[in-house]
Amino acid sequence: MTKPKMTQAQRKRFFLFLPALVCGLLIFSGRHHFENHFGSSLAQADLHIGFARLTDTERDIDETRAITDEVASEAGGIDPHWLKKTSSPPIQKSTLVALRELRDRIRKWAPRCDDGILTYHSCPYPDALRHLGLLCLSGDFPSCEQVRESRDEQGRFWRSKSFIGLENEPLPSFSSSSGRGVMAYLIAKADQKTASDWITYIRKNEGRFCPDVRDPENQCRIRAYFWHLAWQLNEHYRFLEGDQALRYLGFLMVRNEENKRIGHEKAYDLLGTAETIYLLREMKKRGIQISDSDLIDAVSLVLHQRHPENAMLRFLVRGADEETARLLISQCPANKPFPRVEDGWPKYDVELSPKSAGHYCIFLINLLLGSAK
């Protein structure tokens, strides 16, 4: 008995169904790949901690556009006369000399622990890696080595080499700001093996920086900025060859913690945004293709306009000019504060503290001088 031939209508339905079937299989495969590597079902994946669900990619992009369009609109509304009025000439020779002298004086008293790792007020200092990474990227190569030494044989990074193996501390063994420090190191040194080992460890650890059970502030989680940077670094250096998961995670553009308005943060959140922009700019200098460069410029401009006395934010917009140098000279303490130093950026302020431990001042002076020497 011969099989009946398919009618024209049946053939049309079949060829319409076939692409849908293939697409469904690809989606299922993508879900399976994502869950295996990141230990989280797509139904539970939380955008607030930096994961972009494959099924929600379009929504994520739409949300990001809504946020960034608002910033771009605000940047476009900044009075060009204000920009011109507050501009400044390049740094004068006498000011360059003053900056070098200030940096030399700060280096003599900026506190360090017995193992040589920088600190502010405790040993070991839990935020050392963030500062070491920034110093490394500004040209301070001994700081680069101290970042590299902060990882173990598994590829896992700790807060500093002094914290390696300390699992039972009150603080979790890593943090988002420490992650920014490691990214700064990877940009500076193009250390592809370290990058590959680290990302591999993070994937094995269910997409977290550290496995700490006691983590009340959720410091081990990975925020959106990290995947955005990691994705673009991987596109350039291919430390994870052919990896597409980073691409999906990288759809989340840099934005503030509350996922509302960029640049309305205070203190550490504001500083984190500024530092992330700095990392992106340094990537671009090294020939790494950066997505949304115009948006990053708009964010920089908005932040600078809101906080004109912030030296870092001014530098991101205007570069190394005389006014930024004078701001640093007026805000950075040349002598060790008494009775003790504090974190460089107070919790409720956006300017340098008069009791700064000096390391962040050294980093900013390096930026203005274009060298750590």
CA dihedral (338, 344, 348, 354) positive or negative: positive
- Backbone torsions φ then ψ of 229, nearest 5 degrees: -70, -45
d(CA 324, CA 313): 9
* Distance, C-alpha 55 to centroid of its chain: 25
For the cut 70, the answer to whether the pLDDT of residue 69 exceeds it is: no
Helix then strand then coil, % of the chain, to nearest 5: 55, 0, 40
Question: If you ran DSSP here, which 8-state letter would residue 151 be given?
Answer: B
Contact 150, 129 (CB under 8 A): yes
- Paired with 68 in beta bridges are none
Per-residue pLDDT of 277-300, as tens digits, reads 899 899 999 998 887 777 788 888
Ranges 242-246, 285-289, 310-314: which has the least confidence: 242-246
Phi/psi at 118 (nearest 5 deg)?
-60, 155
Whether residue 172 is preceded by a cis peptide bond, meaning omega within 30 degrees of 0, is no
Distances in whole angstroms, Cα of residue 311 to Cα of each of 139, 194, 308: 19, 32, 8
pLDDT for the residue 67: 54
Task: Report the distance separating Cα 259 and Cα 5, nearest Å.
Answer: 57
Q: Is residue 38's pLDDT more than 90?
A: no
- pLDDT, one tens digit per residue, over 146-186 is 999 999 999 999 999 999 988 766 788 898 889 999 999 99
pLDDT at position 16 is: 47
When pLDDT is cut at 50, 70 and 90, the band that residue 245 belongs to is: low
**220 vs 93, residue with greater confidence:** 93
Task: Say if residue 191's pLDDT is above 80.
Answer: yes
Instruction: Kindly tell me the sign of the dihedral angle through the C-alpha atoms of 256, 258, 261, 263.
Output: negative
**Do residues 364 and 275 lie in contact, with contact meaning Cβ atoms separated by under 8 Å?**
no
Distance, in Å, from the CA atom of 201 to the CA atom of 213, rounded to the nearest integer, reads 17
Tokens of 38: 């990141």
Q: What is the pLDDT of residue 229?
A: 81
Highest-confidence segment of 13-22, 92-101, 228-237: 92-101
pLDDT of residue 14: 45
pTM: 0.77
pLDDT digits (tens, 9 = 90+) for 119-153: 987 888 988 999 999 999 999 999 999 999 999 99
Nearest to 117 by CA among 150, 165, 76: 150
> Residue 112 above 70 pLDDT?
yes
